[in-house]
Amino acid sequence: MTLFSPDKFGDVLVKNRVFMAPLTRMRANNDGVPGSLAAQYYAQRASAGLIISEATQISELGKGYPGTPGIYSSEQVSEWKKVTAAVHESGGVIFLQLWHVGRISHTSHHPKDGLPVAPSAIKPTGQVYTASWALTDYETPREISLEEIKELKLSYIHAAKLAKEAGFDGVELHAANGYLLDQFLQDGSNLRDDKYGGSIENRCKLILEILEDIIPVWGSGRVGIRLSPYGTFNDMKDSDPVKLFSYLIEALNPLNLCYLHLIEPRATSAGGDDQIVEDAPKTGQLFTKLFDGKVVLAGGFDKISAEQAIDSSEGDAVAFGRIFISNPDLPKRLESNSLLTAYDRSTFYGGTEKGYTDYPFM
């Protein structure tokens, strides 16, 4: 078994273990319809064992950046169909990453819903892009009510169904990087005193309920989940991450998911300066052994460290982010030890084909 050998993840055959990490590129239209170059961009990267799409909001209130795509309207589904068809024609497999940003947002992204929602009314430190790309301080979010959590769960089911209609091969639940579901998990952002707050069991409940809701839509073998234990991006903290994430990962086992996707904290940065967490534990080493199914690792990997991770059974696949942006044929380049094209951070977010569809093939 090597980085380049095929495998079966749940119900999905993957041709290698070089996966494309979910990468927000902020090139969608204002109404959350993917941009016209998205099909070409993803099809160029179809040699990945699995493509995980950029984070895609499940509702308008789930949006927190300009130019991110959604999966809640028929117009969005029509454009996503072109993306999935292009990837399939090129022999690729693509999952959609289901996203709700929670407090990492601004009223301008969803004016009719008002303030961003979060488990608790705690303002994150840092700044946010408004709908018109202006940087401003975060607002203090509104605590989401139990009634709204019921609606939220319906939005996840709706989005999961639309992802199927759009022709994706599965879905990844985004519960990482300080967005809504991670905000529920960690006690730095969840101070609720109802059934979704307090104990570790309560803080994990929403994620488990959502998984149980979307598994009937897809089958468990086509549903993955992404977690970022120890990640500090988006002002995240927890008083006991090992206990929290150990509980959650063990609670995922009976669900028989397609995979668990773990981000190493040494690179949880979503495009800013790399946030190196000094002395951070390796999440693969800590948590992989607790999970019965396939594990995908991400965060600062190169060919050597990816091969080590596979050889030591720390992970079954490695998702590459930044170097997949600049190397559309990354699996082939890694396998042949070819030079990699350096990525240009200034074109990560927004813009047109520059830094998106114009990186060269070998």
Ligand X SMILES: Cc1cc2nc3c(=O)[nH]c(=O)nc-3n(C[C@H](O)[C@H](O)[C@H](O)COP(=O)(O)O)c2cc1C
Site residues, ligand X (CB under 6 A):
21-24, 54-55, 97, 174, 176-177, 226, 263, 267, 270-271, 298-301, 320-322, 348
Q: Pick the closer one to ligand X by CB: 39 or 298.
A: 298
Active site (annotated) includes residue 179:
yes
Rounded distance between C-alpha atoms, residue 57 and residue 72, angstroms: 8
- By beta-carbon distance, which residue lies closest to ligand X? 321
- Select which of 41, 42, 129, 179 is catalytic: 179
Helices (H) and strands (E) in the chain, counts: 10, 14
Q: Pick the closer one to ligand X by CB: 133 or 195.
A: 133
Q: Pick the closer one to ligand X by CB: 98 or 197.
A: 98
Strand pairing class (51-57; 94-99)? parallel
Contact between residue 209 and residue 156 where contact means Cβ atoms under 8 Å apart:
no
Q: Provide, rounded to whole angstroms, the least separation between the CB of residue 340 and ligand X.
A: 12
CA distances to 61, 128, 241, 272 from 233, in Å: 21, 13, 14, 10
Contact between residue 251 and residue 237 where contact means Cβ atoms under 8 Å apart:
no
Q: Provide, rounded to whole angstroms, the least separation between the CB of residue 271 and ligand X.
A: 4
Q: Provide, rounded to whole angstroms, the least separation between the CB of residue 56 and ligand X.
A: 8
Taking alpha carbons only, the member of 42, 119, 36, 136 closest to residue 325 is 42
Q: Pick the closer one to ligand X by CB: 24 or 155.
A: 24
Q: Provide, rounded to whole angstroms, the least separation between the CB of residue 309 and ligand X.
A: 12
Q: How many CB atoms lie within 10 A of CB 199?
A: 11
- Beta-strand ranges (E) seen in 24-99 are 51-57, 94-99
Catalytic positions, please?
179
